[in-house]
Structure 1
């Protein structure tokens, strides 16, 4: 078991899973490739300005100079090689980090159904028959199978230290495979503007041991709050920024399917509320 992480819970340069680590590698490699052309170019600018200064008697002047094949070769070949290298890094990385590609891990995998709402996150654990709002609890080392949709406008799910932001779309289901390698508390966020409550659309990510996760699920399933179609419409579908992080006993295992297939109509979205002049942020 790892130690609890101390420091910024949203530091992309401090990855806590294999996907985030691969993302960081691509970022650093891309910066290094770009610096390989940027730094020499900046140095050449200053060197040229210094060498061709007025006081330098050794500097030469070519009033009839028109074309240099060697110079053209340098000017075009270096940027071309840079683009090829960057393209190769992006191409290989995008295939290796396909969001739906399974990520191996230890222990039993956990399926988590994610619904982005205005302005909160609903996490449904169908196998454990529980659900939470703005708190994601997962076991360390286990494969995490996310299935994501939106109950309103387009949104983006992102846990910086675990990696790979992905869109949530109304009427569609996207997939994301992750793994957390260190016990600790992290932070997730919405990475796409979605209205007045967007700045508060954050969620806690708690990575715990397998026994702690089992205890969490066993305690949550005893909750007096029941989540089904009716309670979802009355409590969660309304536009609001919740003050507490509610937990539910999942009464309807097909709730996520009903949301994703729009059997439960989507929320109004920020634009409709703005047109009616309503103030729905609590």
Structure 2
């Protein structure tokens, strides 16, 4: 009978074989510090949870009805010693958790530059960070290496013990960039940029994915993070540069289209301003960038002239992306950069004649009526002569 019970437990043991403890055994210093924060916080909370659970069982057993050897004191209601233990122990743990959380929040801020490679090695001036521009697409990841002029889809590579500086954005909906072995997750949002600093301390291939549901192809939105030696990383860059694929603005607009389970793809050359255009949501030719629009708004806006300052989209991913001012999907046309407008369809674009900030003039005083002088004066908090 006992053997049958053990056999019945085997399927549950097999299920545990699918568990991945990468969060508790990471390959990067940032993730290791986050692991320590989780472990210490859990241990501190167990200092209260475990004694409470043990004492619950102990009291139930000791003061059971059949145990007549224990004094029966139904009128007992206070003990100074117990009050001190009950309140002081949780208070001390809360203080420790608060201090730990405050330190972890600041020291592990994803926007904060790294101060060390690992626990025993500080960052030196010669340790220049690897810049990687990350774009969350539907449903794939684009990684741009601006220092090398290459890019990759669904594959990320970095050398061991070299700081990595990620700049992260998205093309449409919000996603979450997450490599458990490297660092914590951080959101990728369209028109906005988030940052993440991390470092890998072990060689290997680790899993990266989106931790925020983003649609039908979400389950396939993962990539491989390759932590390589310095020489192997140089080979990876050389291999990427040898690719005949080019990533310009028109190529990106094709890549941006929703697709699922995309294979790894390398690009030997990349438009140097592509990430900036993606971030400012103006990859389409002639489209006004968010930064340009903000500059115009800071000067008072385009006013009524801006209502006609739109152009049709040549490709609209979700049926109507842009300002709904006509029968066709439209977007606000750029007026700050002549180079961006040279290939736009011929159409008159209106610019404001006066760029000074708009200021309100207030409400005009209502007209004075001799028939009702008191009513007009009372609007302004004054008394009429008849009332005085």
TM range (shorter): 0.7 to 0.9
- SS of 2:25's partner is coil
Corresponding position of 2:55: 44
The runs of 5 or more residues in structure 2 that have no matched partner are: 1-17, 118-125, 285-314, 322-388
Q: 1:226-265: per-residue Cα shift (whole Å, max 9, x none)? A: 101101111x211111331111123311111111111137
- SS of 1:258's partner is helix
Q: 1:169-206: per-residue Cα shift (whole Å, max 9, x none)? A: 11111111111111111111111111111111111011
Residue 253 (str. 1) matches residue 272 (str. 2)? yes
Corresponding position of 2:214: 194
The runs of 5 or more residues in structure 1 that have no matched partner are: 1-6, 273-282
When normalised by structure 2's length, the TM-score is 0.64
Q: Tell me how far apart the structure 1 counterparts of residues 45 and 261 of structure 2 sit (CA, whole Å).
A: 43
Match of 1:263 among 282, 300, 304: 282
Matches within 5 A, 1:165-180: 165-180=185-200
Matches within 5 A, 1:146-185: 146-185=166-205
Compared CA separation, residues 147 and 30, structure 1 to 2 (3 A): same
- Mapped contact 1:9–1:186 kept (Cα < 8 A): no
Residue 32 (str. 1) matches residue 43 (str. 2)? yes
Q: Tell me how far apart the structure 2 counterparts of residues 150 and 219 of structure 1 sit (CA, whole Å).
A: 26
Corresponding position of 1:213: 233
Compared CA separation, residues 27 and 96, structure 1 to 2 (3 A): same
- SS of 1:204's partner is strand
Tell me how many residue pairs correspond in the alignment.
263
Residue 83 (str. 1) matches residue 94 (str. 2)? yes
Larger mean CA deviation between 99-108 and 17-26 belongs to 99-108
Corresponding position of 1:3: none
- Mapped contact 1:123–1:132 kept (Cα < 8 A): yes
* Greater radius of gyration (CA): 2
Q: Tell me how far apart the structure 1 counterparts of residues 35 and 99 of structure 2 sit (CA, whole Å).
A: 16
When normalised by structure 1's length, the TM-score is 0.86
**Bigger RCO of structures 1 and 2 (CA < 8 A, at least 6 apart):** 1
Q: Tell me how far apart the structure 2 counterparts of residues 267 and 94 of structure 1 sit (CA, whole Å).
A: 40
Compared CA separation, residues 213 and 9, structure 1 to 2 (3 A): farther
- SS of 1:176's partner is strand
